Structure 1
């Protein structure tokens, strides 16, 4: 007979057995492998809609599901999602393998990892802040060969226009996000911080006074996709991420891809040739991709017909007491003398300037690899090098400009050339591993950029009479910036512990060191050999860096962050992050962020975020100094001026009362709605507000016409004016982003992708200009931050940019059409409202047709700006003529400029056609 204790034991045993059977009946294991291009897709998302998991390092996934019918969706960024219906039965394990194909385009349906420390990616419509993803296929379809210009055509909130007659900025495109500055967007490569350029933009361009990142140093053949986070992320990724983050993800797939393109502008110049090769090696338990690009970009020229003085300066002022008739007669006599000389020497008024794209030659190499030591440990690395050689022109020096021209060398004047050599290098290595459910990522990234200036077809006007030689080519010096960043990042999913579906904790630390260097040019490039002559010393177009400008500076940045993201309920996602950073030269700052997304239904979600940011002055802004030749509009005439930039902590800056540089601080808020009524249709609308206090600007010019300025600049006889970096203004930016993506169902063998994307933003300078009480008055009034500089922040970039595109494929044929509307822009003169201009909105259309010649070869014939659209021409063009007294208002510089170089919407080169060949095997 069974005892009561034995009976209880039997009861417990039977209960456990039945419970085990019940659990076994309710949960069945589904396993499989995800691959693409023959390569395991580590991190691919496998989801049933209610349960999700990630594929491991070998592409293997495991799902535990109750019996029933499911639709499993597998996705990976850059590949077409795959869905499959399965029926799970009790007690029967299921095995499924998925092979993904490269996507034709990526948009709001793709999963993303940027902006989250979670190990499980989310779709674009499920993120608490807006993120765009652009595949290499979509980028290549733009017809461009440089990453910044590719991104400019597909991302409405991103702007990058090529500059002209702007020294070094002719060779590196400044890029902006949401209308802010190039130094307020952080660029990553493979989610690791990318170093800045050595160049600081000091001419009258977009991003004047800022330092950006040269994305064109990356070979496009190495790029798998580009992710754009459109929200303040300083608490997650560090300083500079005020406007957002751009993450360039490198390819790691197997196989070979060769791309080539040839093209030119409609006008017959600007020839482009590009060859890109990518090869992914078949490596056991690893991956290795090598990419190389060769690019040639020919110069363009859209200069107008020059009507100004050449050999004799007839554009002279009135003498004291001179009557109108006498003044006109004198000017007319000088004009006639000049015309006679022009006829005698055959001076070409059509071809004395080069206003357009600079000539560039690029060679680039990138390696991206890694291998799995075991299922839990991955070692990864990348390394790259880029070499760019550029040629750009400055302002023509005419024979009458005797302070700048040696007539014995150039009796007809000369067009000086700025030659650049830009080296960019980077190397990164890291290891990822798991310990006790903690995922570790330890890495070190080192990168640098150098910019060498040479000047050709020039002279030092003070040299010929004082020395036995008069060179026409000069080494003008070199800029260098290097950065080393060491990161430790760890994450852990606390969902099971906290009773949530997902609850990811991220912790990390960063140690960064910045190095900045200026090397002086040769003596003849900067020296004034005869100060009493009244002639300009140094090489014309770009005086070399002087020994006094040399610097070799270093600073360190220590940072630590914490990030917690959780699905508090099935509908409510919350993310909170905080970051502490200490700069060796600017102290400590704390940035924090709160982001949320709430699902009103399976179709509609609300999302929003609020954060603060911090951007310390770049090491360039603190230590840069130079003397530059700038052409300034004075009374309607572009006048050359030797302008000195003095360091913020210099004696000159102190004498002017310029305060010490401080960090920019920001508040960023966003609120949006996402709609996804079907897998092939999605809409996101996000409004945002960004307040930046103590924004760093590059001042206008304090000239010697002011007696106080003249006294301060006494030790610098070659300097006509002074400029500085200072925290002068506060700004507020309001805007809205909207993206609609639709892929209608088509008959077999065809596909159609439609998208509508737009951005509207407006930046305003708010509150008083800081420091004006300490700065002496000048002929321009408030030169600390003039109305011209205010307009550059507020109005020189399009306030709106809307793009609608369609991509249709049927059989071997494909076609793409895109219309982009660029909003109006404005320019303001520093002193005279009569020189203000506005340039209306324009629509630019792009068209391409592709044909699959063979299984592995596709040919594309296309045109950017197919209708040959140009921006509005300059309207304030009242060129001074000898038969009148004036006043004269002229923005065209005697007809040389047809289009504005100070505010450009989409450039002024006109239409461009090209042929692209892509070979995959």
Structure 2
């Protein structure tokens, strides 16, 4: 695969070089865009030829060049924080036209021309579209002080949510990201308008997005991004499966010049050191072409916010009362065991502090991206390409294995136990190539994008307890546990034409296209020592502790083909009424077809007020991961007293075991989206958008809870099924199933203004999202397994429902002040994260709730030189943490149980890891240097 991929790159590079050689010049429009107050050049201004696809971005000095044919045009100049200007220009053969513009300070991102959500050539700002769109510029991302793309978005887009997870296997290394409170797999990610591949990892631990497969946004260097468009509306009919909650479109940089951004920082606690450097350089290729190259390196140190451990270490004193034992005798026996343990702890100088890593995993990330366009000689067509390579290496801890846990620990190797680590190696690649142009008024595009993501698991500082008979010599402590991979190839052909003039309308755009996609999902098994039990009768647990390797029985190489076609109509029916209608049919080779449609409209009552709304249906096809993932893993489950390890098997939906349980084949999730909103300019320097929405989803795919074996009831049925399949070492079974229906309701609000000041400029933006998700209808259950509360044999319990309904903030409100005075700048941001909750699997009295918190970010910048800017800042300035867990398990005080498994870990979890608002690392300070040449 790697060699094949390299050959593809070499062939495409050769084609790319050929197109460069064919480049020729055309009529040129050039000029400079400057700040009307200071006279300095403005980099990154969008220059668009209205009614066409031609456009440019100004360089570091505000200069731009456009190549067009002779004729009359209107140029649209737009930039965040400035008022958009439309300038007419006449281009004649043999002459160079010069159009220079002075932009005046204006509203923030509500004035930026958007691309996503519309295939029309009419330039529309986010207040002029039929659906709400957030436009986030690269400087907005940089101003957050964050270095990962998911965290940058988390603090600039209220409808977007992403929190880092901890002690959750692979999910420690890839952040789940959501939109409007839905799942990571219900938002579609585009790169330069083309579908971006999913990650290889499926989230199967107790985190946000459990059972889902998202897109690894952190595989894309933020230094390569010019802007991000977030379409907050159902868009399956426009862009295909997954776009139930909306679409995130990442636009790569195009402008010439060099940009360097470097940052160092750390948390107030003195850990989590961060170092990042990103370099982007853009070249001109002829008069109209460009080549933009980006390299970025990020280092993120580990953090740890674990509490002091209060449980057993060498002697297990956390025992139950024996049959016939009196209460007094039980207390005395328990106390005697406790004292034995304390004596051994002191003798061995065992530290009870921080013996679990609860916080960010360590991650080192290196990425390279390119973005290019080359006009094809003597034609109205261009060749374009974009893509990149990204490599990430991570290190995260699991649960500590203590010496008393003799079934898991080889004490001759680890006399004091050990903290096992999961070491990840994540590779991400993508390459988009295409040709587009215009012929007789038809704008056409042919493209192909190939991309993939692989996730290799290695386990270090561990052991296979069943190899205890080998002693310390030749006994492995590191294991290769297997590799997940997902590859996707997408081909598209599309055409669009505006028939407005023929019909006597301002616009009547017709867009249509065909798509083909091939998905491939693989699981490669680990080495034998990572999963085998070499002494089954010894009572020792086989496989590498923390993460047993994938077994040969789990190996899979599954593919599917997806065929689709769509039509998209958009028309300015009158100067006040804008209509949009879209339909798409897609056929999946592994489960069938789906038809999605959308109708949307915007009516402008006046310059100060418009009403917009949409109705659509959508779908999300089950991922190949959900259909074919299987594994045997050690899962820590609360038994009401402690977290105990269980060998749990995840079995494929089409496996004999799932069929014996009565689990039906996976089908698509289906949605109905309703949206209505207003856009308003009540004052010349005030802009308001308010959008309400309701999203109904049926047959949501969930990752089931454990169905555990026992000697009676439903547990006996489970035992018989597992034993009959030869899974005698497996304690419980899990699988994926269409099981629940949900309804999500919410409101998005964005208010922007820039009050006139005597000195300097000030932009104020208030953005908020309020959402609520609830379960509706009955929960579908396996046909052959009765619900058994005694043994917790539920497909979907209270804890699972909380992850869908209350584990993400019910609201997020962000108020940002951006002040500029000559060389000085300041950004002050207040972010209020709403309530989150975690439910106990069975006992409502043990539920946990975290109250709303207000986070303050402050950064101050100064332009040292013309092209060099320094920023110092602090995120979470006042070192705010979430509420501590309410119920804590200190067995010496005879208090047991908690919500979400966290508090039954003997004090090691101070904050919930099952429901997170903004993380629990505390304050962070940083220094940033940026330069433009």
- Fold similarity call, TM over 0.5: yes
Q: Which residue of 2 aligns with 1:717?
A: 728
Deviations 1:721-744 (A, max 9, x none): 110000000000000000001122
Summarize the Cα distance change of 1:419–1:55 in structure 2 as closer, same or farther, 3 Å threshold: closer
Is structure 2 residue 377 aligned with structure 1 residue 377?
no
Distance (whole Å) between structure 1 residues aligned to residue 401 and residue 300 of structure 2: 26
* TM alignment of 1:386-397, pairs within 5 A: 386-397=390-401
Is structure 2 residue 818 aligned with structure 1 residue 816?
no
Is structure 2 residue 328 aligned with structure 1 residue 319?
no
Q: Does the 8 Å contact 1:79/1:100 carry over to 2?
A: no
Q: Which residue of 2 aligns with 1:163?
A: 165
Deviation at 1:835, TM superposition (A): 2.0
Is structure 2 residue 662 aligned with structure 1 residue 657?
yes
Q: Does the 8 Å contact 2:484/2:523 carry over to 1?
A: yes
Is structure 2 residue 47 aligned with structure 1 residue 44?
yes
Distance (whole Å) between structure 2 residues aligned to residue 838 and residue 905 of structure 1: 11
Deviation at 1:678, TM superposition (A): 4.9
Instruction: Choose from 321, 333, 336 the match for 2:336.
Output: 333
Summarize the Cα distance change of 1:210–1:102 in structure 2 as closer, same or farther, 3 Å threshold: farther
Distance (whole Å) between structure 2 residues aligned to residue 151 and residue 63 of structure 1: 41
Distance (whole Å) between structure 1 residues aligned to residue 717 and residue 366 of structure 2: 50
Q: Which residue of 2 aligns with 1:840?
A: 851
Deviation at 1:633, TM superposition (A): 1.5
- 2:454 is paired with a residue of what secondary structure? strand
Q: Which residue of 1 aligns with 2:61?
A: none
Deviation at 1:281, TM superposition (A): 1.1
TM-score by structure 1 length? Answer: 0.92
Instruction: Choose from 765, 770, 786 the match for 1:755.
Output: 765
Q: Which residue of 2 aligns with 1:909?
A: 921
Q: Which residue of 1 aligns with 2:405?
A: 401
Is structure 2 residue 221 aligned with structure 1 residue 219?
yes
Deviations 1:747-804 (A, max 9, x none): 47x2211000000000111111012553233335451001110111001000100000
Q: Which residue of 1 aligns with 2:22?
A: none
Summarize the Cα distance change of 1:53–1:455 in structure 2 as closer, same or farther, 3 Å threshold: closer
Deviations 1:858-913 (A, max 9, x none): 000000000000000001114111x7597899815111000000000000000000
Distance (whole Å) between structure 1 residues aligned to residue 600 and residue 677 of structure 2: 11
Distance (whole Å) between structure 2 residues aligned to residue 603 and residue 74 of structure 1: 21
Give the RMSD, CA atoms, in angstroms: 2.5
Deviations 1:690-743 (A, max 9, x none): 000000000000111211111111111221111000000000000000000112
- Larger deviation, residues 558-567 vs 774-783: 774-783
Deviation at 1:76, TM superposition (A): 3.8
Deviations 1:9-66 (A, max 9, x none): xxxxxxxxxxxxxxxxxxxxxx96566699999983467xxxx77756835599969x
Deviation at 1:465, TM superposition (A): 1.1
Deviation at 1:417, TM superposition (A): 0.3
Deviations 1:300-352 (A, max 9, x none): 00000101000000000110121110110110010010000001000000031
Summarize the Cα distance change of 1:696–1:884 in structure 2 as closer, same or farther, 3 Å threshold: closer
- Larger deviation, residues 870-879 vs 587-596: 870-879
Summarize the Cα distance change of 1:339–1:879 in structure 2 as closer, same or farther, 3 Å threshold: same
Q: Does the 8 Å contact 2:107/2:687 carry over to 1?
A: no
Instruction: Choose from 457, 461, 465 the match for 1:461.
Output: 465
Summarize the Cα distance change of 1:747–1:94 in structure 2 as closer, same or farther, 3 Å threshold: farther
Q: Does the 8 Å contact 2:889/2:895 carry over to 1?
A: no
Deviations 1:208-241 (A, max 9, x none): 0000000100111110001000000000000000
Q: Does the 8 Å contact 1:772/1:782 carry over to 2?
A: no
Distance (whole Å) between structure 1 residues aligned to residue 738 and residue 895 of structure 2: 42
Distance (whole Å) between structure 1 residues aligned to residue 910 and residue 840 of structure 2: 17
Deviation at 1:676, TM superposition (A): 2.0
Deviations 1:594-640 (A, max 9, x none): 00000111110000000000111001000000011111111131111
Distance (whole Å) between structure 2 residues aligned to residue 685 and residue 427 of structure 1: 38
* TM alignment of 1:133-532, pairs within 5 A: 133-285=135-287, 286-373=289-376, 374=378, 376-465=380-469, 469-532=474-537
Q: Does the 8 Å contact 1:106/1:135 carry over to 2?
A: no
Summarize the Cα distance change of 1:518–1:94 in structure 2 as closer, same or farther, 3 Å threshold: closer
* TM alignment of 1:581-592, pairs within 5 A: 581-592=586-597
Deviation at 1:505, TM superposition (A): 0.2
Is structure 2 residue 655 aligned with structure 1 residue 645?
no
Deviation at 1:105, TM superposition (A): 9.3
Q: Does the 8 Å contact 1:734/1:761 carry over to 2?
A: yes
Q: Does the 8 Å contact 1:46/1:61 carry over to 2?
A: no
Return 5+ residue gaps in structure 2 as ranges. Answer: 1-27, 35-40, 57-65
Distance (whole Å) between structure 2 residues aligned to residue 581 and residue 32 of structure 1: 42
Q: Which residue of 2 aligns with 1:566?
A: 571
May I ask how many residue pairs the two structures share in their alignment? Answer: 876
Is structure 2 residue 639 aligned with structure 1 residue 634?
yes
Distance (whole Å) between structure 2 residues aligned to residue 885 and residue 117 of structure 1: 61
Distance (whole Å) between structure 2 residues aligned to residue 279 and residue 45 of structure 1: 22
Q: Does the 8 Å contact 1:73/1:81 carry over to 2?
A: no
Instruction: Choose from 546, 549, 554 the match for 1:549.
Output: 554
Q: Does the 8 Å contact 2:356/2:908 carry over to 1?
A: yes
